[in-house]
Structures are given as C-alpha cells and as structure tokens.
Amino acid sequence: MIFRRKKSFTQFPTVEQIETVILKEKYSRKYKKVLKSTMSSLIVVAAIAVLIATLALPVLQIQGSSMEPTLNDEEIVVLLKTNKLERGQLCCFSYQNKLLIKRIIGIPGDSISIDQDGYVYVNGEQLDEPYVLDRDLGECDVTFPIHITDNHYFILGDHRSTSIDSRSSVVGLVNSEQIVGKIFFRIWPFENIGTIDQ
C-alpha cells in the first residue's frame, strides 16, 4: 500500500482583503475620534449653557395669577440679570426668600397716585395701561401720592384685584438691591414663545 502525502496549502489573504481590513480599522479609529470630539464639545456646550442660565439668563416658572393676562400660571420665562430698569418693564425681585414678578410703574423721582377706580397717575398724568384688564384699587393701605426715593421702585401686578404689591405696606417700595433683573422672553408654552410685550 502506498500512502501519498497531501499537499498543505496556506491560503494568504488577497490584496483587496487586506485593503478592506485596513479601511475598516481606519474608519473605526476615525469614528471613535469624531465621537469623542463630539461628546467633548457637547459637554462643554452644556456646561456653558448651565453657566449662562445660572449667572445671566435664569429660567423661571410663573406661579399664580397676579400677572395675568401678560403672564399666566405655569408659563416659563427667561430673566435677564440687569440693573438698568425702566418704567413699564416686568421685573423680578427677591421678597422674603421668594422671587416675585411685577411691573415697574414708578422709578426714582416719580410721584405715584391711584384713584378709587384703580387708575394710576405718574407725575400727575394718567398712565396708559393696555395690559390691565381689571382696574381695581386692590389691597391698598398706603397713602397717595407716593414719592419714590433714590434706588427704589413702585411695582404693581397686572391683575390688580389679586396682586399684592407696592400698594400694600407689606411689600411697599422695592429697593434696587432686591431686583434680580427683567423678564424679556417666554419659552413655554410653545405657541406663545417669543419676546414679552411690555
């Protein structure tokens, strides 16, 4: 009996197969590099956004009805931290460890009066207030006219019958140090997104 030795063939990969493996490896490395770079960028952007939101543009949720119809309960707004405030702007101020939102009616140097029907007079002239739907003297225990001293503001809620504001001695004039900034943009609900008309 004759035994024949089988020939042993070692099969080497073709050039095309080697090129395919090299391309896959390059793509994998490139993909990982891009993914790492993207994740790093997203983390930096998120950190900057949080920093801006905390330091310059805090986001607040409205609670209550004192600013209706301008701002409604549970709406979400953006606050711009600033100390440059004008009559008519919506401001946010600190009161008894809470943040309240009202409208600036009187600025330093102004004289404010409100009649029994709820009409507001600034320096003797009736204030045009298209944002007020329910004129009301509200909870008022102060004596008019009120002369606003330096670094103080006279503030009112737009919903005059329910708002507790500078008409009440409990709140009184708001010191400029209490003011955090002004409300300028609504982000919720989406159908009302945009700048807030003063």
Per-residue pLDDT tens digits for 175-198: 999 999 898 889 888 888 888 766
- Sequence-distant (6+) residues with CB within 8 A of 146 are 106, 111, 112, 113, 154, 166, 173
Q: What is the mean pLDDT of the chain?
A: 83
Structure tokens at 116: 């029994």
Task: Read off the pTM.
Answer: 0.70
Q: Any catalytic annotation for residue 182?
A: no
Q: What distance in Å separates the CA atoms of residue 83 and residue 167, rounded to the nearest whole number?
A: 23
The answer to whether 165 and 171 have CB atoms below 8 angstroms apart is yes
Give me 163's structure tokens. 């708002």
pLDDT at 3: 52
Active site residue 81: no
List 26, 33, 37, 66, catalytic entry: 66
Q: What is the pLDDT of residues 72-126, one digit of tens each?
A: 899 999 888 887 889 999 999 988 888 899 999 999 999 999 999 999 999 999 9
Average pLDDT over residues 65-75: 90
- How far is the C-alpha of 18 from the C-alpha of 13, rounded, in Å? 7
Which one from 102, 163, 166, 182 is the annotated catalytic residue?
102
Confidence (pLDDT) at 1:
54
166 contacts 155 by C-beta, under 8 angstroms = yes
- From residue 157, how far is each of 10, 66, 92, 193 by CA, in Å? 88, 5, 11, 21
